[in-house]
Amino acid sequence: MDPHERQAVRHFDHCPWLFAGDATQAQRLAQRERQQAVGGDTEFGERCYVADSAAVFPDRLRLGDDSYIAAHAYVTGELTTGTDCTLNPFTTVRGTVTLGDGVRIGAHTSILGFNHTMAPDRPVFQQPLTSRGIKVGDDVWIGSNVVVVDGVTIGDHCVVGAGAVVTRDLPAWTVAAGNPARPIRDRRGRPAGTPGNAGMDLTRFADTARAQAADILARSWDGDRYVDRPGAAPTMRAHCDAVEIADLLLGCAPPQWDAEEHIQRLSAAQDPVSGLVPEFGEPLPNEADDGLTGSGAALYHILSVGYALDLLDASFPHPVRGVRDMTPGQLLLRLQDLPWRDGAWTAGAWIDAWATAAHWNLRCGEDAASGSLEALFGWLLTRADPWTGMWGSPSAQAGRLQVVNGYYRLTRGSFAQFGMPVPHPERVVDTVLAHAHDARHFGPGRLNACNVLDVAHPLWLCSRQLGTGTGGDGCRSADIHAWAERQLTAVLPTWHDGEGFGFATGPVGPGPRPGLQGTEMWLAIVWYLADLLGRSDELGYRPRGVHRPEPAGADRNALAPWLS
């Protein structure tokens, strides 16, 4: 090749968009040979260009029409692009990466659709590779020196500022920047913190809640025990809600006692024989019936007291006997007898309590009866309705309320807590969104924490399982995004300075007066809603107790004999 030709190749390598219009016939032939020499499983669209100086060693490459790989780019793994995509000079694209139409990737940017594990049992260089993949939508501009990590989805029409490190999904139309990348505004002209983009500044809200947390806890302290709100009776749940709020906003135990005193009081409340925790002044459930009946306080205390102790780095001192001793056959009979037709919430709450007790029993070294966990998951998996993804039946009076709210309780304690995938997640999303538009439960003046949580958590859980992440594109993502925005816009203004959130906007449960239960639940709900929008990082907190997003702390290796 003569010097003039070499100069032309270098020019096209750095300005590949000029090739289609300016290249000679000889240069086009040379480019065709260059593409054929790439090797691997490759397909090139019309008017594509691959720079001579690019290191392109794919396992699989699909380059759409009018797409380019510029000078010194490094491409490995599996890359699929739409039309009109450009990998600019020194771009690195590795792992499994899918680009939509019209994607521009700036110079020196790394799109890394793979990762190393980092288990402590071997050196890093011997760790196996994993890949969840990266998906980039249509009409996206990713600036220079950006890093996008494995598992991220970037929605249509996004712009990512130079130097950003994208660790979380970005919703469509987001303009993001920073390390880690955070949404700055909506590309359609809606700045962050205005109506149409979750209604307010989430960071300011969280800072306000943190600054007022100590006053909220002191307000519900009667000098000896916690109450939900001034004038209410002391309850075990109020003590547990105080622990959850303090952990979430202050990162420590509630200041009325030191952590050891909290642990001592909560542990002492557990009956050493049954393993249950009764309400103050109330008897234990019927011992002859193993105590696991109904949906009373003792059942919920398996969750609330257990997780309060967990947040304090402690655990129940005794196993829950009714779960430890229940055989698979007895469990299956109990599951069959639960009120699925007219009380799906009660059925789901029972399973939540049973599965959570099994989790705590494992934590304190007490195995469930052989095969019981297998029996639970097997029964649930074979009886989920493939049309709704749920258990139980709707009614003319309440619609899907019992079914959806029961679904949250059931999956919270079983599938979510143990890190197991739920069945039929696409159908669950459809069912939950249909329920979320029922004005009987979500109309003006009808919101309450349970109903919103019982929609937000299933949407979050199924979105993650379907691989669409949060804040990104995927199964009905636009509908999920719009619903989450509406809830945040409605809920955040109901915060009462120095008092927190009320449970409901009407006379449901504890009602509209601010208290510990409403505050604890809505803080977790706000996190889920924000995470559905890809904005939870702005809050600076993440639930770790009853409403934690991750599977519970029990090592999955310990559960393998039952769940493998």
Pairing state of beta strands 41-44 and 55-63?
A: parallel
Let me know: does 476 contact 433? Beta carbons within 8 Å: yes
Triad 493, 497, 501: Cα angle to 5°:
60
What would you report as the CA-atom Rg of the chain, rounded to the nearest whole angstrom?
27
User: Which among 375, 290, 364 is positioned nearest to 327, based on CA atoms?
Assistant: 375
The catalytic position among 14, 108, 116, 441 is: 116
- Residue 390 and residue 425: Cα distance in Å, rounded? 9
Pairing state of beta strands 147-148 and 110-113?
A: parallel
Buried b / exposed e across 50-88, counting CB within 10 Å, b at 16+? Answer: bbeebebebeebbbbebbbbbbbbbbbbbbbbbbbbbbb
- Cα 452 to the center of its chain, rounded Å: 16
Let me know: does 528 contact 456? Beta carbons within 8 Å: yes
- Residue 485 and residue 532: Cα distance in Å, rounded? 9
Q: Which two tokens stand for residue 82?
A: 């739409």
User: Which among 374, 402, 378, 373 is positioned nearest to 388, based on CA atoms?
Assistant: 402
116 is catalytic: yes
Active site residues: 116
